Amino acid sequence: MSLAIHWFRRDLRFEDHRALQAALAGDHPVLPLFIFDTGLLAALKNPHDARVAFIHRTLASLKETARTHGSDLLVRVGDPVEVWAALLGEFPVAAAYAAEDYEPAARRRDGAVARLLAEKGIPFNLVKDQVLFAKDEVVKGDGKPYTIYTPYSRSHLARLTESDLAEAPIGRSLRRLHKTGNKPLPFPALADLGFKDGTIAIPPIRLEGPRLAAYGERRDRMDVDGTTRLGVHLRFGTVSIRRAMRAAMPKSDVFAKELVWRDFFSQILYHFPRVEAHSFHEVGDRVAWRRDPGGFRAWCEGRTGYPLVDAGMRELAETGHMHNRVRMVAASFLTKHLLIHWKEGQAWFARHLLDFDLASNNGNWQWAAGTGCDAAPYFRIFNPAAQAKRFDPEGIYVRRWVAELGTSAYPQPIVEHEAARNRVLAAWGKARET
């Protein structure tokens, strides 16, 4: 009997899921699939990468749920196109489903899989699930993509209807999963993938009313636990964006607008894939960025002599998270005080952030560097001391991460604020003239 395959990628849940809902409503029983992409795994440098351990754990729980419905989760390891080619020889696949992914590499991968399936006459249904609005759904009057957040956000929120936010229930339709029999399908151990358990804990999904109601007032403070830590769950799809927005709507406009930033950067990357490696504004590629391995290392290790920057970088290394405002300050420090290319910072964050997402990371780095679509102007140079004073007035956050502050063990500043400011302004002045 033929079956449909739902290919899980960054949508690891059995609830409120548009692509899976479409698969389960189709003509065939559905076998869920996950592929550990060896190309992606090989690029990860840390065997304790908490993200891989989190994916692995989440898959184990999806498998358990599937098993309770007489089905299973098929897990394969390899190059996705090769895995699919093999699957077509093993299973009578009649249709394939997945949540649409908008990143350049994912689009290339999905294009290759779609061609492979099309050769056999199998439809590959890509369903919008990970964003509220994708591609050309929110564009300017002339049909061109928005490149400035404020009008995008206005238009996005004005368009948003109940049906865009409606839950796509899965529950009972799990009965339509393909029955795999009593014997569980093989499930690779983390060690088989070359990884070990992460030492970093993943925060739970936190969308409680009081947290969201106080979000607007508290989110900028580094010394309080005022944000949701939802990033990692949105990244891997363990929570749906619709659920997050439904929770935001009655409680906090500010929170809703933060979620819109995520859609904004997703559509920027979709329409302008070159931003992955190039500045959105070409002038950014003409800036004489410095090669400074020593300065870069000090920044990575949290030894710049600027307490707020160092606190953020240490928080990142230890927890895989950094408060948004500290991310802004740390990114500004690297690209402005040290005049080091945003791509170096982008890569470091990509390695360490639990919630690393290409579109959001790239968009925010370019914003901070002054090279992006809707960027902080190049002459806006965060003063880390002033930021700390305002958003961590008693130094609680900084002391949590920089225990040796005030002792001789703490390094002297590696650059002087005013001199650094003059240097970056001069470099930008030159780039703008050429």
Minimum CB distance to ligand FAD smaller for 205 or for 405: 205
- Of residues 232 through 261, those in contact with ligand FAD by CB under 6 A are 234, 258-259, 261
Total residues contacting ligand FAD by CB under 6 A comes to: 26
Of 299, 348, 365, 401, which is the active-site residue? 365
Minimum CB distance to ligand FAD smaller for 70 or for 104: 104
Say what angle helices 324-332 and 358-369 make with each other, to 10 degrees: 50
> According to the binding rule CB under 6 A, does residue 344 interact with ligand FAD?
no
> According to the binding rule CB under 6 A, does residue 365 interact with ligand FAD?
yes
Minimum CB distance to ligand FAD smaller for 84 or for 333: 333
Exactly one of 13, 221, 262, 314 binds ligand FAD (CB under 6 A); that residue is 262
Establish whether 7 is a catalytic residue. no
**Nearby residues of 136 by Cβ (< 8 Å), 6 or more positions away:** 143, 145
d(CA 372, CA 364): 8
**Contacts with ligand FAD, 184-223, as mask; x by CB under 6 A:** -----------------------------------x----
Q: Which residue, among 383, 313, 302, has the nearest Cα to 349 in the 3D structure?
A: 313
**Nearby residues of 192 by Cβ (< 8 Å), 6 or more positions away:** 77
d(CA 330, CA 403): 19
Q: Name the β-bridge partners of 37.
A: 78
b/e map 145-156, b = 16+ CB within 10 Å = bbbebeebbebb
Minimum CB distance to ligand FAD smaller for 12 or for 331: 331
> According to the binding rule CB under 6 A, does residue 364 interact with ligand FAD?
yes
d(CA 388, CA 306): 10
Establish whether 261 is a catalytic residue. yes
Q: Name the β-bridge partners of 35.
A: 76
Shortest distance (Å) from residue 380 CB to ligand FAD: 13
Shortest distance (Å) from residue 264 CB to ligand FAD: 7
Shortest distance (Å) from residue 96 CB to ligand FAD: 28
Establish whether 84 is a catalytic residue. no
Burial of 246 (0-12, 13-18, 19+ CB in 10 A): middle
Of 342, 348, 367, 401, which is the active-site residue? 342
Exactly one of 61, 65, 173, 324 binds ligand FAD (CB under 6 A); that residue is 324
> According to the binding rule CB under 6 A, does residue 267 interact with ligand FAD?
no
Establish whether 137 is a catalytic residue. no
Q: How far is CA 267 from CA 130, 133, 135, 153, 167, in A?
A: 12, 8, 6, 12, 23
> According to the binding rule CB under 6 A, does residue 360 interact with ligand FAD?
yes
Establish whether 289 is a catalytic residue. yes
Q: How far is CA 313 from CA 100, 310, 326, 386, in A?
A: 33, 5, 9, 18
Encoded tokens for 169:
């229930």
Of 15, 125, 167, 324, which is the active-site residue? 324
- Output the CA torsion 185→186→190→192 (10° steps): -160
Establish whether 342 is a catalytic residue. yes
> According to the binding rule CB under 6 A, does residue 328 interact with ligand FAD?
yes
Encoded tokens for 415:
């650059």
Per this entry, what is the length of the chain?
Answer: 434
Exactly one of 228, 238, 267, 304 binds ligand FAD (CB under 6 A); that residue is 228
> Under the rule (CB under 6 A), what is the footprint of ligand FAD?
219, 227-231, 234, 258-259, 261-262, 265, 324, 327-328, 331, 349, 353, 355-357, 360-361, 364-365, 368
Active site residues: 258, 261, 289, 324, 342, 365
